[in-house]
Amino acid sequence: MKKKRIFSTLIKNYILFTTIVVFIVLITIAVVGFSLSLFMEDEPFPMITASSLAKADYENMDLTHLDAAEGWVEVLDENGDVIFTKGDKKTEHMHYDMRAMTSLLGLQEEQEYFYQSTPFVSQEGESLILLVVNPHGVLNYDVSRKIIMVLLVGAGIFLMLFMINIFIYSKWTARKIQKPLDQITEVIQEMGDGNSDVRMSFKAEYEFSQIRDAFNSMADRLQKSEYEKFKLEESRKRMFVDISHDLKTPITTINGFSKALSEGMIKDEEKVRKYLNTIYNKSNRMAKLIDDIFELSKLDSPEQKTDLRIGDLVEVIRSVVAEHYEQIEEKNMIILFESDAESLFLKFNPKEISRVISNLICNAILYNKEGTTLFIGIKNVGDLVTIDVGDDGIGIPDHLSESIFSPFIRGDHTRNSEGGSGLGLAISKKIIENHDGTIELVNGNETYNTLFRITFNREVSHDYTQ
């Protein structure tokens, strides 16, 4: 069923409004016509045109209305001489030639009087001309005021009926729109008061139903967002507890050792060097932790923009592997590097991607035993580019796999001072997300107990091939 739109409703209402206006006009015309006929019933229709006044017995012409208009008539013979006047003649002309007559009857606006003429035949059979003269600006009819009053009354009736029609039309149309608007306002106010469970359920035209559906969808997302915000707040609280724990231990150690050294409690030079070395290592760890917290906060900021540039992804990852080659050898680990392309040019941030790959390699080195095989693989299949970093070491416990990318999660189950900050994977996840990619822990791989997979969509990540 096609949904009813506000436009069609307004069109129907307007057609009805126009029909009523036409009906009002007809009523007004009927009232004015009836009133004129009523008022003019006993009034003689004033006839003061030259043709209406001309008669053979010109001396007995009825000039009642012409006198009221302060006009007069003149009768001219064939030679243009005035042989008869009737009324209050105000000009001295007693003879009119053809040129003068043409001038008088021509540009009337520039003359003091308004002239009309018509030929007629007298009772004696003479061909004469009747000249009717009427001053400009003088009302010609005695009944003009009655006509004006009737027209004013008609205009008043029309205006009154028209305003009533506008009022009824406006109220009727507004009611069709106001009802859903009131419900929308009521629900929005409830939402503003903190009731996120409220939803709109009215029935109305298509445009209002769109608002209803959009609001309900927004309310669902808002409710979901509030739940995610709650979870985020819980995560932040846990993170602050973890930060406090990770900072408290080295600070306590630094405080105790520095106090012992400053008070001269340690005399043995070897112990002094050992204490100083411990203070140095602990302060480095604290600085690293603080840097990681700052980096995670910066990556999480919506104002932070990732600087993307075209580069060879294969070459960048190959360089990161080379930087860690000495550590891999020291732990007697086996490194496997595979790529199905010699070079792969994408738009990415080399420094940030290097940090992600470096973090994954460092974790594999730190948490696995000697002889572990470390694998790095790059594939370009269709629209997808994947980077795999895995190992056949001890693996990650199942209870940590779901929260492995949360801050301060470590694979060694402990919060000792020898491990990392616990922020590496959280930072890595943010970096990959800022590249419009994904990073995940792949479970159930037959070859590698731990396998992290980074995926870029070539269209989303602005792939470039050279």
Say how many Å lie between the first and final Cα of the chain, rounded. 54
Q: Are 257 and 279 in contact (CB under 8 A)?
A: yes
Could you give the CA distance from residue 28 to residue 157 in angstroms, rounded to a whole number? 7
Task: Please give the distance of CA 435 from its chain centroid, rounded to a whole number.
Answer: 28
The residues near 388 (Cβ < 8 Å, ≥ 6 apart) are: 375, 376, 377, 378, 379, 442, 451, 452, 453, 454
Could you give the CA distance from residue 395 to residue 22 in angstroms, rounded to a whole number? 87
Sketch the domain layout of the chain as residue ranges: 6-41+144-186, 50-135, 207-297, 305-457
Interior CA angle at 332 toward 441 and 326, to 5°?
85
Percent of the chain with pLDDT over 70: 81
Q: In 3D, which of 323, 333, 37, 23 has the Cα closest to residue 164?
A: 23
Predicted confidence at residue 219, as pLDDT, reads 82
CA dihedral of 187, 190, 192, 194, whole degrees rounded to 10: -140
CA dist 464 → 292, 318, 376, 434, 459 (Å): 31, 19, 22, 18, 10
13-27, 43-57, 325-339, 381-395: the lowest-pLDDT one: 43-57
The residues near 131 (Cβ < 8 Å, ≥ 6 apart) are: 50, 73, 74, 75, 76, 96, 115, 116, 117
Name the token pair of 364.
């594999």
What is the average pLDDT score of the chain? 79
The residues near 214 (Cβ < 8 Å, ≥ 6 apart) are: none
What class is the 305-457 domain?
alpha beta
Q: Are 320 and 357 in contact (CB under 8 A)?
A: yes
Split at pLDDT 50, 70, 90, the class of 142 is very low
The answer on pLDDT for 368 being more than 70 is yes
Q: Which CATH code of 3.20.19.10, 3.40.190.10, 1.10.287.130, 3.90.79.10 fits the domain covering 207-297? A: 1.10.287.130
Predicted confidence at residue 67, as pLDDT, reads 76
H or E element that contains 169: helix 144-192
Would you put residue 436 in left (φ > 0), alpha (ψ -120 to 50) or beta?
Answer: left
The answer on pLDDT for 417 being more than 50 is no
More confident residue, 360 or 413: 360
According to the per-residue pLDDT averaged within each range, which of 25-34, 150-159, 178-187, 365-374 is highest? 365-374
State pTM to two decimals.
Answer: 0.47
Split at pLDDT 50, 70, 90, the class of 420 is low
